[in-house]
Amino acid sequence: MKKTLLTAVIALLSITAFAQKDSGFGIKAGLNYNQNGDLNFRQVQDAGEDLISGSDGKVGYHIGFFGKLDFPKIYLRPELIYTKTKSSYDIDGTTNDYDISKLDLPVLLGYKIIGPLSVFAGPAFQYTLNNDLEGLEVNDVQNDFTVGAQFGVAVSLGNIGVDVRYERGFSENEANFIGNNVTDISGRVDSRPSQIIFGLSLKL
């Protein structure tokens, strides 16, 4: 036990020794241009095949915190983010907005290319807090906890950073819905995100 603890302390001291002055933590916020997966629906009284509607992207937002452990050529950047996304579907001739709120935990590994410019990538762990399809009764998503991936490019100018990234969910994560009067329409919607994210961060 003592040997394990000593090893952990030495490892921590080694990381601290190599970490650069840019290590620290801060806040970030930005805009998300989001699209979800397909929506399948049918009239409840219709025994025919499901109809499929692809989503149209709309602008959402995110806000949260980040940490950064900086090294000479690479950095590790975990983030804890509250995200609100929005997309829309054409359901039987009517446009319905699909809103999702979730907590995101990206763990990003970055590589410094030149000067303030870097690229990064990593897994993004997501916990769905709420999902709402306008005008319809929607059940909880199939899996509250899902995993996706993010990659992008960042520019750091002192304590201010800007980045643009692409995110993609790895697997379908569907929620069932039904019309409010129960007899008109039913179906399922894939909450898996595909989005472009624009972020602004401030190191504290």
Q: Which domains does the chain have, with CATH numbers?
A: 21-203 (2.40.160.20)
The confidence score (pLDDT) of residue 94 equals 74
- Residue range 80-111, pLDDT digits in tens: 999 998 877 777 667 778 888 889 999 999 99
At 44 the pLDDT is 57
Instruction: Assess whether pLDDT exceeds 50 at residue 154.
Output: yes
Mean pLDDT of 10-21: 48
Query: In this model, does residue 151 exceed pLDDT 90?
Result: yes
Per-residue model confidence (pLDDT) at position 175: 66
Largest CA distance in the chain: 69
**Structural tokens at position 186:** 């039913």
Question: How would you class 35 by CB atoms within 10 Å of its CB: exposed for 0-12, middle for 13-18, buried for 19 or more?
Answer: middle
123 confidence band (pLDDT: 50, 70, 90): very high
| Residue 42 confidence (pLDDT) | 65
Beta strand pairing call for 145-157 and 160-169 = antiparallel
pLDDT at residue 8 greater than cutoff 70: no
**Confidence tier at 2 by pLDDT (50, 70, 90):** very low
The whole-number pLDDT of residue 18 equals 47
- pLDDT, mean of residues 19-23: 61
Q: Quick check: 11 pLDDT over 80?
A: no
Q: What stretches of 46-173 adopt beta strand conformation (E)?
A: 51-53, 56-70, 74-91, 94-114, 117-133, 136-138, 145-157, 160-169
